[in-house]
Structure 1
Amino acid sequence: MLSVQQALDFLLTAARPVTDTEVIPTLAANGRVLAADQSSLLNVPPMDNTSMDGYAVRAADCVLPAVTMPVSQRIPAGHVGQALQPGTAARIFTGAMIPAGADAVVMQEMCEFHKDEAGDRVTIRHSPQSGEWIRRAGEDIRAGSVILPAGTRLRAQELGLAASVGLASLPVVRRLRAAVFFTGDELAMPGEELKPGAIYNSNRFTLRALLENLGCEIADYGIVPDTLEATRDTLRRAAQDNDLIITSGGVSVGEEDHIKPAVEAEGRLNMWQIAVKPGKPLAFGEVNRQQGQEQGADKGAAWFLGLPGNPVSSLVTFMLFVRPFILRLQGVDKVAPQACMMRADFEWPKADRRNEFLRARINDSGGLDLFPNQSSGVLTSTVWGDGLVDNPAGTTIARGDSVRFLPFHSLLY
């Protein structure tokens, strides 16, 4: 069996990113992957502006302990003031453009505004340095600089950054087309009568949601009968118009497990069985597409990933292997989930020969508690928990040990 890292390296090396692109409005680009570097057309900020409410002044005019000078103008954000005359101050508000002639801003808390027979005046009790409380043009972004490289997965903050430099549309990689189907005569859908020996197909809901989180277009072929012929037929149909086929169940070696021979008949199996718990029977391969009718040429193959049928095994293997594989197909370079070292407030005295991923929750004291039942069929553990403890093969855990923790929020999106 391959180790977790060996299997992941194999998958990521095999992945060939999608090359088709499209241009879409920036407002509609959440979760998409950039297809080309994006550069700023302007400086940000576009002009020198104030980061404080206060008074724009010439620093040389402000002497201690205090100086009183006329207020010559009022400059709200979005308005352009007049050139500042020596010996005067301009009332200015956060974000407003610094008027010509001013080289500092004194925050309003250090000033006293008053009126007298001569008009509006301000007493300033601070001697500012030149540039104080001024945000310079281009301080954040310089015109022409790359702000978002190709391969960036666009989140709220990236979309805000793109908008801040005026990018109304963005070139993105087309959505990955993923087909799913589920094997098992025992499977039923919620709302149907649950006959003796049957179970509800929770994996259909879990896997579809995971694929939606990653921005995929989903072709759902539903529940497939437990026969080799039905499995092969569904693989052929799914391969025609999809980049990736994901199945759940039937990847073991029992007489009713038809995924492995079906994939081998319709394509090839490149990897099978990983030293991971839960989730050992993970299959990876390719399913051949039928020859093109118009050109009579081989249309290539669709990637295939067969996940275990147990619900926790299916979820964990998706998070560990399918998620980074999909991200790499979308052109994302950094696909590893964020991990952190945390204190174990539990004991795990029995080592396993496989790399274990244990469902755990962060407690109020900043340590990790372990769900008491780590069975691969206990889906409640994934709702209760905050993430997975990555426990290497052959390793026991004592209370107080530092363990590697993978939060769910870094594994699901």
Structure 2
Amino acid sequence: MGKLNDCFSQPAKMLTLNEAVARFSENIVSVCKAEKVKLASAEGRIIFSDIISSINVPPHNNSAVDGFAIYHDDLNVSGTTTLPIRGRAVAGGNFIENPERGQAIQIFTGAPIPQTTKALSPDTIFMIEDVVVDGDKVILPEGQMKGANIRMAGEDVKKGDTVINCGKRLRPQDIGMLAAIGYSKVKVRAPLKVAIFSTGDEICDPGEKIRSAQIFDINRYSLMSLLRKLGCKVNDMGILPDDKDAIRESIKSASRNNDLLLTSGGVSMGEEDHVRTAINELGKLHFWNLLIKPGRPIALGYVNDDDREVPVIALPGNPVAVMVTFVRIARPLVLLLSGSLDIHPNYFSIPSAFSLTKKKGRREWLRVSLVKDQENNLKVQKFPFDGSGILSSMVSSDGLVELSEDIVKVSEGDLVDFLPFSEVLN
């Protein structure tokens, strides 16, 4: 059996969340190949390899302001200095005259600093607002520091600098940096292809006529949205018929064209579980016992596709549990497979506006909203109901409070770890 079987095999003991994620991090590598895309459409994509600048940014010494460039040694030790104005230097233009001592050159933001020689050029700039122009002369105040208002070549980026690391998801500011070093295209990871399906006669798609005892398929639509937020290419397999052979063929077919299979709610230890049976015939499925709430059961495994092992993630069935376990368990796996190295979300310590007790040794997530007290300080307030089937609790909340295994009590005012949805759902 391959690496995925070793990674996903059922642990000998119940694991904490951190132990489970560490196990994934050590064994999962990206399956997404490289492709080049235009810079204008690269936002949100994952960098394939380190980006190293071949130029200085800025490429030359230039002015940070509109004003006058002078030699600092031409300034009077005390009092104002009056210098003749000789020429103008503009952004994108070349100053063809020699900038001689004892003169001032009118200069505009972004314009290169005129040079007499490589070693000699004006070294100080006065802002236009700080001077007095009198015909063809300029009166400069005293007290200006040498080098003021000059941006040096390579001040932002030096040739040879690594500006963006492999595995980073590109943000707008990263796109700007790539433009600054002259990239029109960039090598990124191809999107992770994920096939998602549901099973069970008790569910139907929204828009279909619902029968007695049926409910609409919530989880598949939530999960598709979550996957797309992570930049995945989603293949919706719909609701598979409750037939062993049909399920097996659908899973086998999906494994040929996808990098990951994802389902929820349809996998159990029961004898009539056709999904579990099909996956075990095509590969192996392991049920994990994690010390978490909400979030059980969770199953991880793989399906063989010739020389490939295609990962399978099976999440719980309750809508809240499926979203929580996706955010904290499936999301790191999806990111690792996608080539992202940034799998750990940022938490924020915020005072609690509630009190509770919890079981020791288990990690728990509470749905919370941000509220302000009388002093306008932010706190987190717990949603009044805890059921893992109450989807409205997620809609009404701003994020989750994560309580670690060693916490047994929270009192009002205690600092708690707040995970905003904006940190993990974008």
Q: 2: CA distance between counterparts of 1:258 and 1:402?
A: 46
Out of 124, 133, 151, the position equivalent to 1:104 is 124
Q: Report the equivalent of 1:74.
A: 88
**Which secondary structure state, in structure 2, belongs to the residue aligned with residue 363 of structure 1?**
strand
Q: Report the equivalent of 1:3.
A: 16
Shift of residue 222, structure 1, vs aligned partner: 0.3
1:42 correspondence with 2:80? no
Out of 18, 21, 25, the position equivalent to 1:12 is 25
Shift of residue 303, structure 1, vs aligned partner: 0.3
**Which secondary structure state, in structure 2, belongs to the residue aligned with residue 152 of structure 1?**
coil
**Which secondary structure state, in structure 1, belongs to the residue aligned with residue 109 of structure 2?**
coil
Out of 330, 338, 343, the position equivalent to 2:346 is 338
Out of 283, 293, 298, the position equivalent to 1:267 is 283
Residue 128 and residue 280 in structure 1: after superposition, are their counterparts in 2 closer, same or farther (change >3 A)?
same
Shift of residue 352, structure 1, vs aligned partner: 6.2
Residue 270 and residue 15 in structure 1: after superposition, are their counterparts in 2 closer, same or farther (change >3 A)?
farther
State whether residues 250 and 256 of structure 1, in contact with CA within 8 Å, keep that contact through their aligned partners in structure 2: no
Name structure 1 gaps, 5 residues minimum: 290-297
| 1:134-167 Cα deviation digits (max 9, x unpaired) | 1100011111222122222212111111111001
Q: 1: CA distance between counterparts of 2:273 and 2:355?
A: 36
The alignment's TM-score, normalised by the length of structure 2, stands at 0.89
Q: 2: CA distance between counterparts of 1:5 and 1:386?
A: 23
Q: Report the equivalent of 2:365.
A: 357
- Code of the residue aligned with 1:65 in structure 2: it is G
Q: Report the equivalent of 2:396.
A: 384
Residue 402 and residue 163 in structure 1: after superposition, are their counterparts in 2 closer, same or farther (change >3 A)?
same
**Which secondary structure state, in structure 2, belongs to the residue aligned with residue 400 of structure 1?**
coil
Q: Which moved more, 1:17-26 or 1:223-232?
A: 223-232
Shift of residue 343, structure 1, vs aligned partner: 0.9
Q: 1: CA distance between counterparts of 2:392 and 2:75?
A: 67
The alignment's TM-score, normalised by the length of structure 1, stands at 0.91
How many pairs are equivalent?
401
State whether residues 90 and 111 of structure 2, in contact with CA within 8 Å, keep that contact through their aligned partners in structure 1: yes
State whether residues 362 and 369 of structure 1, in contact with CA within 8 Å, keep that contact through their aligned partners in structure 2: yes
- What are the within-5 Å matches in structure 2 for residues 219-230 of structure 1? 219-230=235-246
| 1:31-60 Cα deviation digits (max 9, x unpaired) | 221222221121100110111222111111
Residue 14 and residue 258 in structure 1: after superposition, are their counterparts in 2 closer, same or farther (change >3 A)?
farther
State whether residues 59 and 127 of structure 1, in contact with CA within 8 Å, keep that contact through their aligned partners in structure 2: no
- Code of the residue aligned with 2:298 in structure 1: it is L
Out of 310, 331, 343, the position equivalent to 2:318 is 310
Q: Report the equivalent of 2:384.
A: 372
State whether residues 18 and 173 of structure 1, in contact with CA within 8 Å, keep that contact through their aligned partners in structure 2: no
- What are the within-5 Å matches in structure 2 for residues 288-303 of structure 1? 288-289=304-305, 298-303=306-311
1:189 correspondence with 2:209? no
Shift of residue 275, structure 1, vs aligned partner: 1.9
**Which secondary structure state, in structure 2, belongs to the residue aligned with residue 171 of structure 1?**
strand
Q: Which moved more, 1:316-325 or 1:10-19?
A: 10-19
Q: 2: CA distance between counterparts of 1:181 and 1:234?
A: 9
Q: 2: CA distance between counterparts of 1:299 and 1:313?
A: 34
State whether residues 353 and 381 of structure 2, in contact with CA within 8 Å, keep that contact through their aligned partners in structure 1: yes
- What are the within-5 Å matches in structure 2 for residues 106-145 of structure 1? 106-115=126-135, 120-145=136-161
Residue 9 and residue 260 in structure 1: after superposition, are their counterparts in 2 closer, same or farther (change >3 A)?
farther
Shift of residue 9, structure 1, vs aligned partner: 1.9
1:86 correspondence with 2:101? yes
| 1:62-92 Cα deviation digits (max 9, x unpaired) | 2232112222223232223233222221222
Residue 154 and residue 148 in structure 1: after superposition, are their counterparts in 2 closer, same or farther (change >3 A)?
same
User: Sequence identity, in percent?
Assistant: 37
Name structure 2 gaps, 5 residues minimum: 1-13, 116-120
**Which secondary structure state, in structure 1, belongs to the residue aligned with residue 54 of structure 2?**
coil
**Root mean square deviation of aligned Cα:** 1.9
**Which secondary structure state, in structure 1, belongs to the residue aligned with residue 356 of structure 2?**
coil
